[in-house]
Amino acid sequence: MLGQVILSGILIGFVYSLVAVGLTLIWGVMDIINFAHGEFLMISMYTAFWMYALLKWDPLVTLPLASFLIFAISFLTYKMIIKKVLDAPGLTALLATFGLSLFIRNLAQFLWTPNYRFITESIVTDKKMAFGTLIIGMPQMVAALGSVLMTGLIYYFVKKTRMGMAIQATALDRDTAKLMGIDTEKVYAVTFGISGICVGVAGVLLSTFFPVYPEAGALYSLLAFVIVAFGGFGNIQGALLGGIIVGLAESLGGFFLGTQFKYAVVFLLYLLVLQFRPKGLFGW
């Protein structure tokens, strides 16, 4: 039984990691906290649901469309909102994304009501895999594998491509990067777009086994903040490890103390880590 709990924690931890990777990129490169990150994930979940409900598209078929949609929304968010407050005091950008978060959440409630909606006939629904005594739901397995793959692709992009190196240079020193001929404006826009792809993919994968509702993104957004603080700001490996730690803490906390305390365990662990590593496990 304990092995099953640990495995479940690791699987959901990979999905948390992908959500946090998008957040940590923005935080690390632009030094901005995007409070609307969870709402972008919620829009992705609704995209998967409505494509399923109206056109009978499986969420996995909708994945590229939802990812592109959230990329476009994130890109436009940067161009229309973030760009205008980039050089303002940090609190201005924070309040701008917080306001955007409230607007999107309330708009979703107005358009689609607060009711929970479910995708009940995905190609992974009700399928399971058995490894000895361990049983894994196919939706959770696909979500975990998809998240690991996506996290790996983002890591490769940032570390090995020309644009990725420009992102790293801008994160280190924006003014020096400009002097070296890097188009920091383009870097910021692409970073925001990549962050959107992360939650676009995560949202679709989550929609196969989690309910879709206007508040759905709030919890993942909060957990992503904790994971980013765990792993260190702007650190993709840290986000991956932090997501697994949070997933395990949530599962083990729920198993030993009851599901009502599982998030209390996560936040208690977060406070303990900050006492010894204020900049996260991989921070410097």
- Looking at residue 73, which CATH number applies to its domain? 1.10.3470
Asked if the structure places residue 223 within a domain, the reply is yes
How many domains does the chain fold into? 1
User: Could you list the residue range(s) of the whole structural domain that residue 172 is in?
Assistant: 1-276
Q: Return the closest-CA partner of residue 241 out of 11, 29, 6, 14.
A: 14
Asked if the structure places residue 272 within a domain, the reply is yes
Give tens-digit pLDDT for 156-212: 999 999 999 999 999 888 889 888 889 998 999 999 999 999 999 999 999 999 999
Asked if the structure places residue 283 within a domain, the reply is no
Asked if the structure places residue 281 within a domain, the reply is no
Give tens-digit pLDDT for 220-278: 888 988 898 888 777 888 899 999 999 999 999 999 998 888 889 988 988 888 888 87
